[in-house]
Amino acid sequence: MSALAVTGAELDGETVGLRAEDGLIAELGPGVRPADGDEAIDGSGLRLAPPLINGHTHAAMTLFRGYGDDLPLMEWLEKWIWPAEARLEPEDVYWGTRLACVEMIRSGTSSFFDMYWHAAETARAAEEMGLRLVATTAVIDAPRSPGKDRLRDEWLEIVDRLEGFGPLVTPSLGPHAIYTVGRETLEWLAGVTAERELVVQVHLSETEQEVTDCVEANGKRPALYLDEVGLLGPRTALAHGVWLDADELELIAARGATIVSNPAANMKLAVGRAFPYPEAASAGVPLALGTDGASSNSNLDLFEEMKLFSLLQKHTAGDPAALPASEALAIARGQRSQLMGGGELAPGQPADFLLLRTDDPELSVGDPDALLVYGATGSIVDTTVVAGRVLMRHRAVPDADEIIAEVRARAKRLTS
């Protein structure tokens, strides 16, 4: 891999250069200059910043954006989404994910945690587009067909295929939710993911109904049940966690699992509560931020999500000091969860970074963190680099037009 050099960018008020080699930051600082043969990027007038990490999405659901909005949840799922998903081909997932990658690259996301059908197609798309991905297929029990053993073989085969990708792709395995997967399968998943040291992704406590049903069926609340079946550990990403109580948050903190909050989707689908951030933070739970799928958001812009996250927490707490900008930014950068893998820009770290336009009106004056969270949208990202590869420069992502045209054709087939 050839070296990449950025010159003249701003970082913490200084003008700096950055050199990336073999996917890592090799040098960073005021005196850093390009070497002969480096691919050079002029960072003048741009600010160097860590990228954002999308802790929970269903990338290919860009195919179903703007399809059945403003409907009650079950009507939306049963009459709109599920019939459309029943027509999904693997190639649809590939193209839908490519479009999601275009959007994430354009809004400064370097890495995403994804759960969807045909996960190897998700991985193929992410790898081509250059984003990091933690991928899992949606594990859902389907007792009648094609049968328990065959399903397990299929899930394992997908993990094997995911393991065949390059270093950008991390295989993962996880139940869709505790209400769509039975105890036996959950325990089997716990065994497999422990043995193979896999990341676990699961929706947890998104709705009050899930809690009520879990208590009725298992005599305990969802996080305790997930722990009992062996799936609550430091490699577990819990999406939503809206209805978790204080005891569950303590347990999750003790196990080191990460909760991924998705405020836009929670509000849009009206799950009835805000994620209990103050309690989770004081319990020491590792935290991340996600957009959920584009069809329940309806975009993948983590800048917008940071603002919503902070504003919803202030609103809920009745306190404008709740979830300040710097903390929202750290969470969205994956710096509040080891599992998310977000770090600081420093030599030896992955060469994942953004160059932000600072000449937009929204960033003209004021505290930089506050402007990024409350003032900006993803449109301030000029350049996105992941593993030393330039994925966007001056807001142009290669092949974006072709991808949009292809997704339009496929969405039309799936939703008509």
Helix ranges restricted to H, 164-245:
183-195, 208-218, 222-228
Q: What are phi and psi of 8, to 5 degrees?
A: 70, 15
Taking alpha carbons only, the member of 370, 349, 328 closest to residue 52 is 328
CB of 178 to its own copies, least distance (A): 22
DSSP character string of 128-187: HHT-EEEEEEEE---TTTT-HHHHHHHHHHHHHHHHTS-TTEEEB-EESBTTTS-HHHHH
The Cα-based distances of 184 to 38, 143, 176, 178, 191 in angstroms read 54, 12, 14, 11, 11
β pairing state of 200-204 and 109-116: unpaired
Gap between the Cα atoms of 3 and 34, Å rounded: 9
Gap between the Cα atoms of 338 and 125, Å rounded: 25
CB of 388 to its own copies, least distance (A): 24
Gap between the Cα atoms of 149 and 75, Å rounded: 32
CB of 268 to its own copies, least distance (A): 6
| Beta carbon nearer to its own copies, 194 or 404 | 404
Contact 24, 348 (CB under 8 A): yes
| Beta carbon nearer to its own copies, 236 or 291 | 291
Burial (0-12, 13-18, 19+ Cβ within 10 Å), 63: buried
β pairing state of 132-139 and 46-49: unpaired
| Beta carbon nearer to its own copies, 81 or 189 | 81
Gap between the Cα atoms of 72 and 278, Å rounded: 29
Residue type, 219: G
Residue owning tokens 């049903």: 213
CB of 163 to its own copies, least distance (A): 30
CB of 341 to its own copies, least distance (A): 25
CB of 390 to its own copies, least distance (A): 19
CB of 353 to its own copies, least distance (A): 21
| Beta carbon nearer to its own copies, 239 or 407 | 407
- List residues near its own copies by CB under 8 A: 62-67, 69-73, 76, 99, 102-103, 106, 264, 266-270, 272, 274, 294, 297-299, 301, 304, 307-308, 311-312, 314-315, 317-322, 324-325, 359, 361-362, 364-368, 370-371, 374-379, 400-401, 404, 407-408, 411-412, 415
β pairing state of 389-392 and 381-386: antiparallel
| Beta carbon nearer to its own copies, 261 or 298 | 298
| Beta carbon nearer to its own copies, 225 or 275 | 275
185's tokens: 């399968």
β pairing state of 52-57 and 109-116: parallel
Q: How far separated are the first and last CA of the chain, in Å rounded?
A: 44
| Beta carbon nearer to its own copies, 40 or 370 | 370
| Beta carbon nearer to its own copies, 150 or 408 | 408
Gap between the Cα atoms of 299 and 293, Å rounded: 8
CB of 267 to its own copies, least distance (A): 4
CB of 308 to its own copies, least distance (A): 7
Beta-carbon count within 10 A of 160 CB: 12
| Beta carbon nearer to its own copies, 206 or 250 | 206
CB of 176 to its own copies, least distance (A): 20
| Beta carbon nearer to its own copies, 171 or 276 | 276
